[in-house]
Amino acid sequence: MFENKGRTELGELGEFGLIDHLAKSVKTHNQSTVKGIGDDAAVIENGDNYTLLSTDMLVEGVHFDLAYTPLKHLGYKAVVANISDITAMNGTATHIVMSMALSNRFSIEAIEDLYFGINAACAQYNVDLVGGDSTSSPKGLILNIAVYGHVAKDKIAYRSGVNEGDLLVVSGDLGGAFLGLNILEREKRIFLEKPDFQPDLEGNDYLIQRQLRPEARVDIIKLLADLGIQPTAMIDVSDGLASEIHHLAKQSDVGFTVYEDKLPIDPLTYQRGIDLGIDPTVAALNGGEDYELLFTIATSDFEKIKNQMDFTIIGHAVKSTEGLHLISKGNNQHKLTAQGWKGF
């Protein structure tokens, strides 16, 4: 199956390289499997619709820090991250199952707080928690959620549908979650040096919320339908905009030209970036965890979308041989590199 000789470190491949490597050995055995590994969700034949399946794992110390993450918010965010994957297929999430491993440092009351957030997210998005599993952990907390949903066959949006000339569009604004994380990390460092220190988060509510309690953009799916727009491809912005653009390019065999001055950055995100010495453009491109939707549309749909405040056209698809580039505010061309979240 595998022909590796010697030892290869995980860091040499990275998360997505590892997935690609392992996927080569995976064979499907059921005709009902329409799409397996390689998109935001797997796609299963189900009559007039497709069933969508996805899963996501959160590990303490890797994906979250309980020094500044309330368990209620963690539970909510864990559900949202999974619902966002179904949304990125232009679908609707309906059910989740959740498994967790926890150490004996967690009390029953702490787990009740976690489930308060989980139940709140399920109520917000009309999703049912229908099962799961629990076990012990020698250290820390691990959460894993599997999400189920559906989409009409003629509405599904894969990562692989981009056509040359398609417009590249993103919802909402970018970089806020990353700036929120940096503010929380700053306050934690100060607290560790001065335990009697009271965190100063005033004026940063929007950025903190973007990090601790994000929302899945299910409203965008409805808006696109109301506008009569069928995305040619779609992905959610969880690992960073540049990383997601690379995924679309790879799956669709195209290149992209992106314009720095078109990137939607909230004024507070921009100012806090300057305050913290973080380039707002870098935050928007590589920050991640915004859970906005990045999608492409045919140029013929431009008139339908041009006056919509929720959408920003940030670039367009080009031939794969032209590669991926960012046109700076000074009209210089730079290679667009993915420097967002790395799993290993």
Digit-coded pLDDT (tens) for 168-186: 999 999 999 999 999 999 9
- Given a cut of 90, whether residue 16 has pLDDT beyond it is no
Closest by CA position to 80, among listed 51, 102, 54: 54
Pure H helices in 194-266: 205-212, 218-227, 241-252
The pLDDT value recorded for residue 15 is: 60
Distance CA 219, CA 91 (A): 11
pTM for this predicted structure: 0.92
Question: Phi, psi (5° rounding) for residue 296?
Answer: -120, 150
Residues 128-181: tens digit of each pLDDT: 999 999 999 988 999 999 999 999 999 999 999 999 999 999 999 999 999 999
What's the CA gap between 330 and 318, in Å, rounded? 21
* Separation in Å, CA 139 to CA 6, 71, 104, 106, 165: 31, 16, 8, 10, 50
Residues in the chain: 344
Q: Which residue has the tokens 């100063």?
A: 200
Domain ranges across the chain:
10-152, 167-335
In this predicted structure, what is the pLDDT of residue 344? Answer: 40
Tell me if the domain spanning 167-335 has CATH number 3.40.50.10140: no
Q: Do the first three CATH levels of 10-152 and 167-335 match, i.e. the same topology? A: no
Partner residues linked to 236 by β-bridges:
293
- When pLDDT is averaged across residues 99-110 and rounded to a whole number, the result is 95
Buried b (16+ CB within 10 A) or exposed e, 278-294: bebbebbbbbbbbbbbb
Which H or E element spans position 259? strand 254-259
Residue 216 Cα to chain centre, angstroms: 9
Residues 6+ apart with CB under 8 A from 110: 71
Q: Which fold has domain 10-152?
A: 60s Ribosomal Protein L30; Chain: A; (3.30.1330)
Count of alpha carbons within 13 angstroms of residue 24, beta-carbon side:
8
Mean pLDDT of the chain: 92
> pLDDT category, 196, cuts 50, 70, 90?
confident
